[in-house]
Amino acid sequence: MPEKEPIGVIGTGYVGLVQGTCLAELGHEVWCRDIVPDKIDALNRGEVPIYEPGLAELIERNRERLHFTTDMGEVAANAELLFCCVDTPPTYSGDADLSRVERVVEELGGLGRHALVMKSTVPVGTGRTIKRDHDGLGYVSNPEFLKEGSAVHDFMHPDRVVVGADGDSSDYGDRVAALYEPLGAPIVRTDVASAEMVKLASNAFLATKISFINEIANVSEELGADVTEVARGMGLDSRIGDRFLQAGIGYGGSCFPKDVQALKQLAGNTGYHFQLLTAVIEVNELQKRRTIGKLQKHLGSLVRKEIALLGVAFKPDTDDIREATSLVLAGRLRGEGARVRVYDPVAAERARDVLSYAEICPSAMKALEGADAAVLVTEWPEFRELDWAGAVKEAMRQPVVIDGRNFLDRDALRAAGFTYEGVGR
């Protein structure tokens, strides 16, 4: 084996592109494969098809070690360890759709001796099934814990790396673990099923934390407590921790909603009713809609009211709008008869199709001009920099701000004459 193991990466979405690029940065020769020729052409021209801070620079820096291709044969010929980074979106039943993973496994048949290293989030038991059905294929579960927006940093500075391998694949497990050794993080070695469960359980736990603090927020609103103070007081208890305790307008994105649902479903398939996760999901759905009630409290009927949504992306520093709260909110507002304008510094164009009824504005000020209310949906730093007391106050028809992330300077806005409402305070 050469000193730095050559690597294959299948799927060049957020996960694959970050995985491949970061391994190249660690000195590995990496072959990245995607079935979409346009994506591969763009990457070969030096264009990065997704927005992820730091990624474009890193790709540029490692161009010589990174190879982009549509040809699985080329990848398989160059690397034995193949990271599977294709997506596993939810199906109507709530189960994960594994068709892309299955296709990858089929394609590898006859291409020689390989280990599939599963990065895609898959149901617990997937590895066992693949091993059973594909004799001779090595299999390692290596779930990813990257957050969009800080994915490169998260890869380089992980809290832990989880590597699951069974029986005759344990050598492959050693080789996968060795890739991460330079990062200096704890490496947790488990069997495949446990590694698969670590991934789903971690996301489900974080989502539970968010729904929990959102319920504390809702009760705090009634009882006169301030959830940001409550979270600060709770978070200093090291058993609780201060992260993922920010109350807001619900979690979104391509992971939490899907993975919580998938774990609930997985339990359900075995006949177990996962009550806690059922509640986590329901709380999140209600949380997304609570803003409508707050707007009605201040504006009365929303018919023909101009509502500006600041932020479309499911969180800052990404152009990802999958399961974004903005989309639910916009839809509900439209249902109430309001006119919806939206602005997002990077994600607005992506939303053009799904928000065809909304006005997509070129700037925050444009969205706020003549608005009856502003809803802060995504905590992009530029929203804090707006001249709220001056230009914004002047531009809006009614100075009503619903801050869905407790992000703006509440006291300054109130002092400037805004009707300001946050979450849980």
Nearer to ligand UGA, 231 or 396 (CB): 231
Q: Which tokens in the block code for residue 378?
A: 């995504």
Nearer to ligand UGA, 39 or 315 (CB): 315
Nearer to ligand UGA, 5 or 97 (CB): 97
Nearer to ligand UGA, 8 or 13 (CB): 13
Nearer to ligand UGA, 69 or 194 (CB): 194
Cα distances from 398 to residues 295, 307, 374, 418, in angstroms, run 12, 10, 9, 8
Minimum CB separation of residue 111 from ligand UGA in Å reads 28
Helix axes 256-269, 192-223, angle to 10 degrees: 120
Q: Which tokens in the block code for residue 108?
A: 């590898």
Chain centre distance of CA 361:
24
Residue type, position 309, single letter: L
Minimum CB separation of residue 71 from ligand UGA in Å reads 27
**CB-based burial, 46-65: b 16+ in 10 Å, e otherwise:** eebebbbeebeebbeebeeb
Nearer to ligand UGA, 21 or 121 (CB): 121
Minimum CB separation of residue 34 from ligand UGA in Å reads 18
Q: Does the annotation count 32 as an active-site position?
A: no
Nearer to ligand UGA, 147 or 352 (CB): 147
Please give the Cα distance from 232 to 242 (Å, whole number): 7
Q: Measure the CA angle with vertex 159, ends 121 and 67; round to 5°.
A: 60
Please give the Cα distance from 361 to 207 (Å, whole number): 31
Specify whether the CB–CB gap between 214 and 284 falls below 8 A.
yes
| End-to-end CA separation in angstroms for the chain | 59
Minimum CB separation of residue 151 from ligand UGA in Å reads 8
Please give the Cα distance from 310 to 378 (Å, whole number): 7
Nearer to ligand UGA, 16 or 248 (CB): 248
**Mode of pairing for the β-strands spanning 138-141 and 161-165:** antiparallel
* Catalytic residue chosen out of the listed positions 32, 84, 85, 255: 255
Residue type, position 327, single letter: L
Cβ contacts of 27 within 8 Å, gap of 6 or more: 4, 65
Residue type, position 392, single letter: V
User: Which spans of this chain sit near ligand UGA (rule: CB under 6 A)?
Assistant: 121, 144-148, 203, 206, 210, 244-246, 248, 251-253, 255-256, 259, 314-315
**CB-based burial, 121-134: b 16+ in 10 Å, e otherwise:** bbbbebbeebbeee
**Mode of pairing for the β-strands spanning 400-403 and 373-376:** parallel
DSSP secondary structure, 285-344, as one string: HHHHHHHHHHHHHHHS--TT-EEEEE--SSSTT----TT-HHHHHHHHHHHTT-EEEEE-
Which residues are catalytic, by number?
255
